[in-house]
Structure 1
């Protein structure tokens, strides 16, 4: 019989997989400034440099991604995989949850602490492990439709759907551009790559269109995204290689549930990303899972 544990863990898997994609790739993508910055200008002016980085990183369309993220008491995790953002988000990530209330719930259900998430244009699937499959007729994959999540979660679900379908690794760059607070820190090596380090602080209340590549609508959406998470200020650092491609991004801030700390590395831009849907006979749809549980409880 399906239990509340199945629902709770299913929701935890959904959130972990969703947050992993958002943390790795960031927020909304290329509705902003399409201006091209010449490399000679980019080396002198931090704003022009970041506009160039935003454009080049967006055009790269895919990359290998590795990082770790902590979101207060809710969760901490490590992620590694590949993502393609040429037409929505597709890719696969290996996620290891290392702490927090979500990780506790998943481990109590017999999870190994590591799962795989596969991302598609219309949703994503997560491998919930052998232990949980014993409660779902041997099906170890849960499939999540963005449309279903939007219906279940209301306004927040609509925002998540939009972010999951349209995010790219440019978010940290856009944060600095929106803040107008950008400074060049200096030259540093990151994992053997020569980079230029830029940094700034995003003050949600003070965000303006000045020096920003964001449209008014994008800026409002970005403000709301941070405010909903309880973030009033966020410190963003990015490291950029000689080809104007993002190599590393860190974000730090205070959330309602504690501190946000995220570090993500990007490499192998342009790598081929091919993702297969899990076998149908090993997959259960999350919306159907909820209907089954409600029927068992009634």
Structure 2
């Protein structure tokens, strides 16, 4: 079915979106009335206003592109387009690209997120093996809670929160970083913008990412160690803010031993309706419940084998 590859691809895109970070050093940008004296503002002032306006908008249309080295697990290229909202978090996007390239798999996958649950349309072919149900349900929080393992629960919940990142939260993290600079004025899709660029080390990213606070200190150290072992030293980040003080594009690049990981997200139509409807229960199968059933069947067979029957 190729399910694990497709699921990993979607999670990778969403998780990497959480790393769209940059620093907040002194710089100048085209000024607007935010209480600052003169016609120019510091980077911190620009991004603070951008954060406030983005948080207030609560939704936008999004176009995301991502490229990962073929040598990397889940590598390839992918695009995601659709609408996302925050406070509360909702998402309705379609993903396609070589990350989904599995034998018999769909050419594109629609992903819906609401109430902290992800639904993925696995296509008509997959539905043939699932009693006509084509939508896979992923409830990480429920799975973590059912595990009964506090460490697992914290880690899975943290992963869930990272997937829930939105541009407002990304801008909030930008303000915590030390070395963002103003590059200049540019046009993005015909719109006048101010371009900012910076870098963030792994330690700085972890320090500014509030979602990682759910982890115990030893777990945070282990995560840092694992990231550093992967060869990732930091993140090159760029953000473009338009005349309305809203981010219209965010890019992040990471150098790894396998090659570069590059991601770009474009935002438009802030305040667009994000009324996301989940698929009917009759067309949905719960991956977590399915795996529990399979585990139970395996346990029953093991008991039979052990009884000598």
Shift in Å, 1:273: 0.9
User: Is structure 2 residue 40 aligned with structure 1 residue 46?
Assistant: no
The answer on whether the counterparts of 1:64 and 1:266 sit within 8 Å (CA) in structure 2 is: yes
Alignment of 1:181-260 (within 5 A): 181-205=179-203, 217=213, 229=227, 230=230, 231-255=232-256, 258-260=259-261
**Partner SS for 1:273:** coil
Shift in Å, 1:227: 6.4
> Residue deviations 1:1-22, cap 9 Å, x none?
xxxx5xxx33334333333334
State the partner residue of 2:307: none
Q: 1:238 to 1:17 in 2, by over 3 A?
A: same
Contiguous gaps of at least 5 residues in structure 2 = 22-32, 302-309
> Residue deviations 1:107-164, cap 9 Å, x none?
22x1122010000123110001112122211211101113234356925422212223
Q: 1:10 to 1:294 in 2, by over 3 A?
A: farther
State the partner residue of 1:20: 13
**Partner SS for 2:158:** helix
Alignment of 1:22-101 (within 5 A): 22-24=15-17, 38=34, 40=36, 43-72=40-69, 73=72, 74-75=74-75, 76-87=77-88, 89-99=89-99
**Partner SS for 1:170:** helix
Name the Cα RMSD after superposition.
3.4
Q: 1:258 to 1:228 in 2, by over 3 A?
A: farther
Contiguous gaps of at least 5 residues in structure 1 = 29-36
**Partner SS for 2:187:** strand
Please, what TM-score do these two structures have when normalized by structure 2? 0.76
Alignment of 1:39-188 (within 5 A): 40=36, 43-72=40-69, 73=72, 74-75=74-75, 76-87=77-88, 89-99=89-99, 103-104=100-101, 107-108=102-103, 110-150=104-144, 154=152, 155-165=154-164, 167-188=165-186
Please, what TM-score do these two structures have when normalized by structure 1? 0.78
How many aligned positions are there? 272
